[in-house]
Amino acid sequence: MNTAAAIVRTYWLESKLEFLKNLRLPVFSLSTLLFPVMFYLMFGLAFGGGPIGSVPRPLYFAVAYSAFGVVGACLFGFGANVAIERGQGWMLLRRAFPAPPLAYFVAKMFMATAFSLAIIVILLGLAVLAGGASLGLADLVRVVPVLLAGTLPFSAMGLALGTVCGPNSAPAVINLVYLPMAFAGGMWIPVEFLPTTIQAIAPYLPTYHYAQLALGAVGAGDGNVAAHLVVLGLVTAACLAGASVFYSRKP
């Protein structure tokens, strides 16, 4: 086996095992997959009602709750896992072996993306099958990549939280960050229907910018694509910088 093939094989194995490891953990896999689906069924489909702006309600909420699910998969899949594995000494053990350090992060990224894709497929599938939304290939090509791109800023945020939090406090801290941020960012209820105070906070939250970008791909959202991209880029950079500082202090 030549070197390049060996490296690819290591990265592939790390990614596959990272995925399997989390899939076999019901507390992660079930809550990551089921919460967005459950919320969508309850608040997106069961209520019914007219379109939001020009977008049919089932499609609007399928995108909003997909974005909510992607953020969860990243914060928990990346963040909580990093905190727990730091606590177990898994990082320290890897350092004593010739394990490529980057593969650890690539594998987590792969895993978060795979779970995100599963959430997106389920919710958009429900929007079509149960909500009667019409989704062409052109729509999918626009919205799915935007939703998946959300794994970048929120994996970075998860990594930062995972390097700051202790293994026991991480899941609680992440929930305290995740749920209010999803709500106030307009992932559960369209931001224009939120109380005005929360509407004023929303632009300071990365979830708001991500939701606006994703909704923009189906014709909703405010259309300030460049501003949303800049904010999410800055959040990614800040989180990665924070994570590397904390990681170097306390691996």
- Would you tell me which residues interact with other proteins (CB under 8 A)? 1, 3, 6, 9-10, 13-14, 17, 20-22, 24-25, 85, 87-90, 92-93, 95-100
- Tokens of residue 65, six digits: 């709750």
* For other proteins, the closer CB: 90 or 183: 90
Nearer to other proteins, 111 or 202 (CB): 111
**CA gyration radius for the chain?**
18
> What's the closest the beta carbon of residue 180 comes to other proteins, in angstroms?
30
- Are 58 and 131 in contact by the 8 Å Cβ rule? The answer is yes
When the beta carbons of 90 and 105 are compared against other proteins, the nearer one is: 90
DSSP annotation string for 155-213: HHHHHHHHHHS-TTTHHHHHHHHHHHHHHHTTSSS-GGGS-HHHHHHGGGSHHHHHHHH
Minimal distance, residue 72 CB to other proteins, in Å: 19
User: Minimum Å distance from CB 91 to other proteins?
Assistant: 10
Distance between first and last Cα of the chain:
33
Between residues 171 and 185, which has the closer beta carbon with respect to other proteins? 171
In the complex, least distance from residue 89 CB atom to other proteins, rounded to whole angstroms: 3
SS3 55: strand
Q: Which is nearer to other proteins, 25 or 30 (CB)?
A: 25
Nearest distance from C-beta of residue 18 to other proteins, angstroms: 9
**Amino acid at residue number 70:** V
